[in-house]
Structure 1
Amino acid sequence: MTDALFDKELNATLEAAFERARQIYAKRGFQRRIGFGSRPALINVDLANAWTRPGNPFTCEEMDDRVMPNVQKLLAAFRRNALPVVHITTAYQITDMDTPFTDMGLWQKKIPIEVVRMDQPELWAIDSRIEPIAGEQVLLKKRASAFHGTYLAGYLRAAGVDTIIVTGVTASACVRETVCDGIADGFRTIIARECVGDRIPGAVAWNLFDLDAKFGDVEPTDACIAYLDGLNARRAAAE
């Protein structure tokens, strides 16, 4: 079976499962909408070279043809509207798996995080296609969630943010955990559909469906951009 045929059959199976799940959730009151707020921030999760470029254990699929072009469009909308942007990346200082004192924690027992080393900044540098500019935050994390053990929540509150639009990789891990912690910390959580990637077939579709049911709103990238570009007009009308 070719990859294309496999993906087609998998997507058809998942869509059938989602349709049945939607009916169950509708009867039980799930899949409510959290909606956009009035002050959004963009959270780009792990869109660094180890994830976006080929040749690394963490390399993700569809980066060049789907994820990065859509993130570029969304980022441009945040910049032209002078809204907060946070770029998240991950790297480790102590990568000796035999030492009891490492910033990798127990996560290195499950995945090869030791390959993303602080002394190899070309791996954890933000992809040049969305290179940070002056005024944008670059935040280094050690765990899946961008909120865990970082100053992200404090920074967002200080900036008056009530909504986070989340992009990046992976749908099944760091994006998911960031969204879950985001709503737990009191932020409206929006996931830009075309701006999320992963490594394995089905992971994006399944996780976006599940996140949309319970932890945030999955919205088309164009809808997010329209919301951003309409903020100033709505503020002016309210004054």
Structure 2
Amino acid sequence: MDTKPWEKYLGADDRAVLERGRFARRMGFGIRPAVVVIDAQRYMVGEEGNDQNWPSSCGAIGRSALKQIQRVVEQAQKSEVPCFFTTFELDSNGGDIGVYGRKRDLLDSDHWCLAGTVGAELVPELRPGKNDIAFVKKKPSGFHGTPLLGYLIDRKIDTVVVVGGATSNCIRATVFDSSSYNFRTIVPHEAVFDRIAVSHAISLFDMDRQFADVVSVADLLSYLRECDGK
């Protein structure tokens, strides 16, 4: 049985609200999927035994999810399902940080997300294939100010699978935008990650309640295998 991360946070009153409102129906998989890998970068997953030097690292949680992201990407590439890799990068002078700079200091560190630093690099475990595209984003959503929507329309995509991090920030923003554009939106919960457990769980709950299907990696992989050669 696939136990969802948010189950332990719900009480009887919460469950009654869900039942009364008929929330969390399944939208299901479509016929033309794409995988969107959000910010699977070095600064996000840090380094085993050295996370203290990576100021935004999600630590072991991120590295565990990365293994599941690899499985998803590898199967997608094998099945010729396109993958889109985003990286979040900021100029070292802070000129493009925008309102985010009112909430957080610009960190002068090669282990953060500054453009041209090791921290901003895509993790070495993931490599775009011949059907894949990588691009930089400057805001939480993979859609905001990027060519992603055009890429999806051009490929006649109807199902967007979102993996990466962080669940409560860039994953959530991307999922909401994907749903707003009327894509079937799928989130494999073992393949997304966050720094704070409760943020991860409740963000997944909110997405599953109205905007996406939160599924297991196992179920997603079965679907992607069926797409092979389509």
> Shorter chain as normaliser: what TM range?
0.7 to 0.9
Q: 1:101-180, aligned counterparts within 5 Å?
A: 102-112=95-105, 114=107, 115-120=112-117, 122-180=118-176
What amino acid maps onto 1:197 in structure 2?
Answer: F
Q: Which runs of 5+ in 2 are unaligned?
A: none
Residue 93 (structure 1) aligns with: 91
| Paired residue secondary structure (2:227) | helix
**Which has the larger share of helix?**
1
Q: How far off is 1:136 after superposition?
A: 1.5
1:113 to 1:82, Cα distance in 2 relative to 1, 3 A: farther
Q: Larger C-alpha radius of gyration, 1 or 2?
A: 1
Query: Residues 90-115 of structure 1: CA distance to partner in whole angstroms, max 9, x if unpaired?
Result: 1112534xxxxx21111111134554
Checking the alignment, whether the CA contact within 8 Å between 1:41 and 1:164 is kept in structure 2 is yes
Match of 1:206 among 179, 184, 202: 202
Q: How far off is 1:16 after superposition?
A: 4.5
| Paired residue secondary structure (1:150) | coil
Residue 26 (structure 1) aligns with: 19
Percentage identity across aligned positions?
Answer: 28
Scaled by the length of structure 1, what TM-score is found? 0.84
| Paired residue secondary structure (1:173) | helix
| Paired residue secondary structure (1:172) | helix
What amino acid maps onto 1:155 in structure 2?
Answer: Y
Query: Residues 125-157 of structure 1: CA distance to partner in whole angstroms, max 9, x if unpaired?
Result: 110011223332111100110101111011111
Write the distance in 1 (CA, Å) between the matches of 2:216 and 2:19.
21
Residue 99 (structure 1) aligns with: none
Does 1:52 pair with 2:49?
A: no
Write the distance in 2 (CA, Å) between the matches of 1:72 and 1:87.
12
Residue 31 (structure 2) aligns with: 38
1:59 to 1:19, Cα distance in 2 relative to 1, 3 A: farther
Q: How far off is 1:56 after superposition?
A: 2.1
User: What is the aligned residue count?
Assistant: 216
Scaled by the length of structure 2, what TM-score is found? 0.87
1:57 to 1:26, Cα distance in 2 relative to 1, 3 A: same
Q: Which runs of 5+ in 1 are unaligned?
A: 1-10, 97-101
Which stretches of structure 1, 4 residues or more, deviate above 3 A after TM superposition? 112-115
